[in-house]
Amino acid sequence: MASTATAPAPQPIPPSLSLPPSQFARLQPHAYLLAHLSPPASSQQPSIRANGRSPSQFRVTSANTGSLTHTNGSAVVRLGDTTAVCGVKAEILHTEDIASWSVSHSSSSSFASNKRRKLTNPTAKLGEDRTDSGDNESHIEDFSLLVPNLSLSTGCAPGLIPGAPPSALAQSMSHQILSLLHTSRLVRAEDLQIWYERPNFGPEEPEHHNESEQMDVDVEQEGSDEASIQTGEIKAFWVLYIDIMIISLAGNPFDAAWTAVLAALRDTKLPRAWWDVDNETVVCSDIVSEARKLSLWGLPIASSFGVFEADAAAGWRSVTIQDAEEERKLAEGDRKGIQRRWVLADPDGYEEGLSQERVCLVVDKPQGGDGKVFIVKMEKNGGFAVDRKELKELVDISTRRWEDINQILKQC
Amino acid sequence: MGGPIASLNPLNRADGSASYKCVSTGSNILGSVNAPIELPGRRDALKPEEATIEVFVKPGTAPGGVGERYIEGVIRNALGRLILGRENGYPRRGVVITLAIVGGESVGRGGSYLPLLPALLHTAALALLSASVPLSMTLSATVLAVDSSGEIIREPSVKDAKAATSLHALAFTSKGQLLLNESEGAFDFGTWETVYERALAICHGTSTLSSDGDVAMTENVDSQPLEGVLRDTVQDQIHSEYAWKIDAA
Amino acid sequence: MTDRRRINGPSGGTRPPVFASSIKSTTTATERPQRQRQPNELRKIFLKTGLIPSASGSSYLEFEHSASLSAARALPKSLIPPSSSLKLACTVHGPKPLPRSATFSPNLVLTTHVKYAPFAARKRKGHIRDASERDLGVHLETALRGVIVAERWPKSGLDITITILEAEDDRWWGDAPDSHDAAWGMMNVLAGCITAASAAIADARIDCLDLVAGGVAAVVVDESVDGGEPSTPRLMLDTDPAEHRSLLSACVVAYMPARDEITELWLKGDNSKASVGTDDKSLSYETLIDGAVDAARGAHSVLAEAVRESAERLAGLETGYST
């Protein structure tokens, strides 16, 4: 391989002409990684990735929250050399600014159902919890209360032009994050509602859940119509602008970005807000003790994988046209311990360039549950190497990853 | 449940085109393929050994957005493994696939594209066939929703998809390999496995590989396997286009 | 107004939160933060190079928290931060071939790009660069163009990108905008940008005449201790606009200590009113510029240390390869 890259040598290549590893890695990336993963049997070396990790090993991850002054919540997540900064800024959307509000929502018919949900056992099965969605949950989607945007135009990698509009990659990731926020129902709609309590109702604020909950039980029996009249109405919503800046890109930006979003949302504090009748506007209190954190549903954690195939550089036809015969050969090779495909966890930039097939798994383990793992999102695309059996293994790896990230997020 | 309605070559000027209508989801897609074509001005981005595949998804009523970029990437990755982009005449050229959503519900902000994905993939595959782009194999795809009672709904309507606990889009190659899986919502692996079984049955029937590599299909509860529907569409087209030859013979 | 390449917020628009304490002007719950430093004492700068390995050169810069901010962080009472401290990341890509479409250039073509993160300031910033960000980019380019030995790289380009994660305030949040108002915070940001870019360029091993550093000085008017008439104007180095009642004028320089040269000078404000009557030479523009140069000298020492670290890292890498 080295002889093809260097000038034609008259005699067998002298050692001085051999390439240093860093150049070999650039010229023949596929062969370089393959050589690491399948060392000759005689060398007694273990199969290891070019970056020194084992196939299922993730990079060192660290998270730091709350360091940005002007945000409601912020996080910096480093995943090896990939760094994502996420800042959450909350703004207020008045219901009078929502065109469809007055038509679709007569005061708060959803309030009762919302409270009912609250009364269900919070440690109940995750799946049940999430499906039990009233009108309430659709608020987040219908009124665009979550606005995530990911930016790669920060000079984070050589190929990306700074200041250019978001690339297709950045756009897809923004969409993936939004869609994951919606499907995982991570943020509760009730956390984002700002209520107006009619004065005759008493001095309590709607945020005092314990009291209002108690009272709600009574009200519910009288019927939801009366409940809505008595409990007040939604006057505004918090809108969370979730901006993710990828400061440094060295592979697997999605995991870094999602972990940053998760950490930032966990850190997010919303001020106590109420409808001020005199000013006809929403007013907030700046007292820290009155602000409350978002109560998130679960902790969905993402792990991404790339598939590296040994034969991709050899005859391309044999790769693309795989028949039963070849499958059998592969299986045979597996039995003999000759591996032709590697599923690499948390691929770095170098490995990403060499893998066509990607898998992204988002799993969650509900607190207080029976330790059962739920998959929130499972994506696999671009190849045939990962099928049922492999996916099952990857779910196990992702579960272990969940524990790790859970620990990291708890500490920050 | 009615099967999908597909036709080849509805457009005259494109190298290849297809229209596809899925009755149960109500989606209606018109797709065109131009290949191989020169991609001027993008010389830096072209790969020296392979064709560059470009996918454009155009929503019917709303202006496009980030959701389209995402689904374009998904379709491009899936088709990238099927198109023989190193075949003569393809390296350094482009395969441009344009998919227009003609009918059915449009996808909102941050909404899920999964209910539309099988129709988009089928349209693209048929259009590629009609443009005679060399393919290593074809694909078939389906989308399944699992509702709160654990029941699997095949090709759910937009309303069903919204109400579902989890939504799964799966695509299989004509050899029965899992080419693509996109699942969202809360589910466990056991659920996914039943979904997988069902999807495989929908796409391939209870397929058995016969000795000559041909897929023999048997009908089951899900009526005709999708694989067969695509096959029939192409066969019908060939019959009508080569009628002069067949008649002469 | 909808941006098709981004996820947009509600179409009706949203409003930033209004705090009750800022409406009731009579009961000022919080006091303006006070400067705890001496007039010629600079904030500490944290500067680190090489944090972004995919770039040819990179640096991260952070200003020390002001006394009020660190107090607010240690014991949070109010959700309104008293002041903020600059945080920015800078990357350098290149020298690299110019794009095909570019015309021939015998010199290195410098491109600078400064962008605030949407969450960098009190008010949410847009995704598309606004006039002030473009302005910063131009100022930064002038500051650096005089430093880089551009003839060494014909037909090449150098991209410098700065992402500001947290910006400086233009004034104290509790103050109403007044006539003295200008984007004072921008000047601190520019000084930080110059220092950080200088470190990143050195980290990318681009030949420079000297390490250029940025510094800010301003003429400020403070509330007098007894709360009566404002005090007489004074010159201060490395001012945090949130800590002063008003800034009369401010100056930012990009300064090369070894050659004693200024590559960029930006002066804002009007000193004439301050010096009228006092006949005080200490508030002339010259002293203001000298003050900014002094501040830049201070930043230079930090810069030199960061660049030394960067060089040591490179030396370590090279020995690592040879073994």
Q: Choose the weakest-confidence range: A367-371, A377-381, B18-22, C9-13.
A: A367-371
B112/A175 Cβ within 8 A: no
Q: Best interface-test mutation with C: which of A69, A86, A348 has the largest number of C CBs within 10 A?
A: A69
Q: How many CB atoms lie within 10 A of CB C210?
A: 17
Contacts of B69 in chain C (CB under 8 A): 5
Pull the structure tokens for residue B156: 């759910």
Residue C93 has pLDDT above 70, yes or no: yes
Average pLDDT over residues A72-91: 95
Out of A88, A178, A287, closest to residue C78 by CB: A287
Nearest CA distance, B149 vs chain A (angstrom) = 10
Nearest CA distance, B81 vs chain A (angstrom) = 6
Q: Are C294 and C262 in contact, with CB atoms under 8 Å apart?
A: no
Q: Is A409 helix (H, G, I), strand (E, B) or coil?
A: helix
CA C318 to chain centre: 34
Give the E-state strand segments of B38-79 in sequence order. 52-58
CA C84/CA C122 separation, integer angstroms: 9
Residue among C187, C199, C132 at smallest CA distance from C160 = C199
Nearest CA distance, B12 vs chain A (angstrom) = 30
CA C38/CA C43 separation, integer angstroms: 10
Residue C30 has pLDDT above 70, yes or no: no
Contacts of A243 in chain C (CB under 8 A): 117-119
DSSP conformational letter for B1? -
Average pLDDT over residues A344-363: 93
CA C318/CA C311 separation, integer angstroms: 11
The alpha carbons of chain A give a radius of gyration, in whole angstroms, of: 27
CA A138/CA A146 separation, integer angstroms: 12
A–B: how many Cβ contacts below 8 A? 134
Alpha-helical runs (H) found in A223-309:
224-231, 253-267
- In the stretch 212-251 of chain A, residues with CB closer than 8 A to chain C read 239, 241, 243, 245, 247-250
- In the stretch 46-75 of chain B, residues with CB closer than 8 A to chain C read 63-66, 69
Nearest CA distance, C284 vs chain A (angstrom) = 35
CA C7/CA C226 separation, integer angstroms: 51
Q: Are B94 and B38 in contact, with CB atoms under 8 Å apart?
A: yes
Average pLDDT over residues A59-87: 95
Q: Name the percent of chain B in helix, strand, coil, to the closest 5.
A: 30, 30, 40
CA C125/CA C115 separation, integer angstroms: 10
Residue with tokens 């940008």, as numbered in its chain: C193
Which position has the higher pLDDT, A312 or C197? C197
Residue A361, pLDDT score: 95
Q: Are C125 and A151 in contact, with CB atoms under 8 Å apart?
A: no
Q: What is the mean pLDDT of chain A?
A: 78
Q: Is C103 helix (H, G, I), strand (E, B) or coil?
A: coil
Q: Are A404 and A58 in contact, with CB atoms under 8 Å apart?
A: yes
Pull the structure tokens for residue B222: 């899900």
C77/A91 Cβ within 8 A: no
Instruction: Judge whether A153 is closer than 8 Å to chain C, CB to CB.
Output: yes
Q: Choose the weakest-confidence range: B194-208, C96-110, C259-273.
A: B194-208
**Pairing outcome for strands C156-166 and C109-116:** parallel
Residue B43, pLDDT score: 66
Handedness of CA C123, C124, C125, C126 (dihedral sign): negative
pLDDT grade, residue C322 (50/70/90)? very low
Residue A82, pLDDT score: 95
Burial classification of residue A166, based on how many CB atoms lie within 10 Å of its CB (0-12 exposed, 13-18 middle, 19 or more buried): buried
Q: Choose the weakest-confidence range: A143-152, A268-277, C40-49, C240-249.
A: C240-249
Q: Is B124 helix (H, G, I), strand (E, B) or coil?
A: helix
A70/C119 Cβ within 8 A: yes
Residue with tokens 């907030």, as numbered in its chain: A284
Average pLDDT over residues A150-164: 86
The domain spans of chain A are 48-55+304-410, 61-199+217-296
CA torsion, points A165, A168, A174, A179, in degrees to nearest 10? 150
C18/A281 Cβ within 8 A: yes
Residue B74, pLDDT score: 95
Average pLDDT over residues A177-202: 84
Domain A61-199+217-296 is found in CATH 3.30.230.70: yes
Contacts of C125 in chain A (CB under 8 A): none
Q: Is the peptide bond before B36 cis (omega within 30 degrees of 0)?
A: yes
Instruction: Find chains touching chain C: ≥3 CB pairs under 8 Å.
Output: A, B
Q: Are B169 and B128 in contact, with CB atoms under 8 Å apart?
A: no
B110/C7 Cβ within 8 A: yes
Amino acid making up residue C202:
A
CA C143/CA C112 separation, integer angstroms: 11
Contacts of A239 in chain C (CB under 8 A): 9-10, 14
A179/B184 Cβ within 8 A: yes
Contacts of C95 in chain A (CB under 8 A): none
Percent of chain A whose pLDDT exceeds 90: 42
Q: Is A185 helix (H, G, I), strand (E, B) or coil?
A: coil
Out of C6, C17, C113, closest to residue A273 by CB: C17
Count of residues making up chain A = 412
Instruction: Judge whether A223 is closer than 8 Å to chain B, CB to CB.
Output: no
pLDDT digits (tens, 9 = 90+) for C50-67: 999 999 999 999 999 988
CA A407/CA A73 separation, integer angstroms: 19
Residue A134, pLDDT score: 53
Residue C221, pLDDT score: 84
C4/B65 Cβ within 8 A: yes
CA C132 to chain centre: 13
A157/C16 Cβ within 8 A: no
Pull the structure tokens for residue B48: 């020296």
Instruction: Judge whether A291 is closer than 8 Å to chain C, CB to CB.
Output: yes
Residue C137, pLDDT score: 95
Contacts of C122 in chain A (CB under 8 A): 70
Out of A20, A74, A91, closest to residue C17 by CB: A91
Regions of chain B with pLDDT less than 50? 1, 207-220
Instruction: Find chains touching chain B: ≥3 CB pairs under 8 Å.
Output: A, C
pLDDT digits (tens, 9 = 90+) for A182-192: 988 899 988 99
Instruction: Find chains touching chain A: ≥3 CB pairs under 8 Å.
Output: B, C
Residue A123, pLDDT score: 38
Whole-Å CA distances, A347 to A251, A319, A352, A402, C37: 6, 22, 6, 17, 47
Domains of chain C plus CATH, in order, are 39-76+83-322 (3.30.230.70)
Residue C320, pLDDT score: 55
Residues of B with CB under 8 A from a CB of A: 66-67, 69-70, 72-74, 77-78, 80-82, 84, 86, 108-112, 136-137, 148, 165, 173, 175, 177-189, 192-193, 196, 209, 213
Contacts of B72 in chain A (CB under 8 A): 168
Nearest CA distance, B141 vs chain C (angstrom) = 28
Q: Are B227 and B205 in contact, with CB atoms under 8 Å apart?
A: yes
Q: Are B95 and B49 in contact, with CB atoms under 8 Å apart?
A: no
Which position has the higher pLDDT, A287 or A228? A287
Handedness of CA A346, A351, A353, A358 (dihedral sign): negative
Q: Which residues pair with C175 in a beta bridge?
A: none
End-to-end CA distance of chain A: 47
C7/B63 Cβ within 8 A: no
Pull the structure tokens for residue B98: 């344009």
Q: Best interface-test mutation with B: which of A100, A128, A135, A183 has the largest number of B CBs within 10 A?
A: A183
The domain spans of chain B are 5-248
Instruction: Judge whether B41 is closer than 8 Å to chain C, CB to CB.
Output: no
CA B59/CA B68 separation, integer angstroms: 8
Contacts of C7 in chain B (CB under 8 A): 65-66, 109-110
Pull the structure tokens for residue A277: 């009748």
Contacts of A383 in chain B (CB under 8 A): 81, 179
Residue A3, pLDDT score: 39
Instruction: Judge whether A376 is closer than 8 Å to chain B, CB to CB.
Output: yes
Residue A79, pLDDT score: 95
Residue A7 has pLDDT above 80, yes or no: no
Q: Which CATH superfamily is domain B5-248 in?
A: GHMP Kinase, N-terminal domain (3.30.230.70)
Q: Which residues pair with B172 in a beta bridge?
A: B140, B178
- Chain B residue with CA closest to A362: the answer is B184
Pull the structure tokens for residue B187: 């589910």
Residue among B168, B171, B176, B170 at smallest CA distance from B152 = B168
B177/A179 Cβ within 8 A: no
Q: Which residues pair with A239 in a beta bridge?
A: A91
Residue C69, pLDDT score: 87
Contacts of B180 in chain A (CB under 8 A): 380-382
**Pairing outcome for strands C109-116 and B215-216:** unpaired
Residue among A333, A327, A312, A300 at smallest CA distance from A387 = A327
Q: Are B144 and B114 in contact, with CB atoms under 8 Å apart?
A: no
Residue C314: CA count within 13 A, CB half-sphere: 14
Residue A271, pLDDT score: 94
Q: Name the percent of chain C in helix, strand, coil, to the closest 5.
A: 30, 25, 45
Backbone φ and ψ for C127, nearest 5 degrees, come out as -80, -25
Residue C291 has pLDDT above 80, yes or no: yes
CA C194/CA C309 separation, integer angstroms: 19
Nearest CA distance, C1 vs chain B (angstrom) = 13
